[in-house]
Amino acid sequence: MDVSEAIKKRRSIRKFKPDSIPEEKISLLLESARLAPSGTNTQPWRFIVVKDDDTKKKLQGAAHNQRHIGRAPVIIACCADLKAFKEFPERVDELIESGALPEGTKEVFVPFLKKGMDTVTKDALMVAAAANVAIAVEHIVLQAVEIGLGTCWVRWYKDNKVKEILDIPDHIEVMALLPVGIPDEDPAPRPRFDIDKITYWEKYNQGRIE
């Protein structure tokens, strides 16, 4: 299956067969997340793989009783480590070493990032965390399609409850709960806006110039 096919085939799946998911498949999903891009290669994503029925039931409760949480054989709690953003000097060194950034970058880039980090608000960090972790989560989602698994992004949950259930410390934020399993439904494509509604050309609100 190629990427275009996986993108077209993907649906949010809320009904799963009870079959457990082999470890190799879970590893493949996590590997696809590991390879995602991130700003300054921060890699702030952290994942908690939950298979225990009791924990899943508790997560379902924290997610306003959304039943696909309790019924999926696996839940991946997709989190962001806000401390990861402070580790940029190491990441810049690695990027220089790997040839992704030119040698002189460190002298300019590291003080620039350091200044930003000294004044950054938690809200701003959360925006960066959301962008970076979302890419990794969607890697998992699309990889799952290729290996016959279904997923559903879940963001409607009580954050503090999920953190309590999973023993998550303060500097880690939950960005999504991802139920994973073999689909037991085959939903039709959900409605989408036309491309013209979501695209402008050259300037905001400007139509295509022929």
Under the rule (CB under 6 A), what is the footprint of ligand FMN? 11-12, 14, 66, 152-156, 190
Residue among 33 and 152 whose Cβ is closer to ligand FMN: 152
Please report how close the Cβ of residue 157 comes to ligand FMN at its closest, in angstroms.
7
Residue among 190 and 203 whose Cβ is closer to ligand FMN: 190
Residue among 8 and 114 whose Cβ is closer to ligand FMN: 8
Residue among 120 and 131 whose Cβ is closer to ligand FMN: 131
Please report how close the Cβ of residue 148 comes to ligand FMN at its closest, in angstroms.
17
Helix then strand count (H, E) for the chain reads 9, 4
Which H or E element spans position 119? helix 105-119
Residue among 7 and 117 whose Cβ is closer to ligand FMN: 7
Q: Quick one: how far is CA 202 from the chain centroid?
A: 30
Please report how close the Cβ of residue 145 comes to ligand FMN at its closest, in angstroms.
11
Please report how close the Cβ of residue 10 comes to ligand FMN at its closest, in angstroms.
7
Please report how close the Cβ of residue 25 comes to ligand FMN at its closest, in angstroms.
21
DSSP 100: S
DSSP string, 14-69: --B-S----HHHHHHHHHHHHT---GGG---EEEEEE--HHHHHHHHHHTTT-HHH
Q: Confirm if 172 and 79 have CB atoms less than 8 A apart.
A: yes
Distance CA 151, CA 133 (A): 16
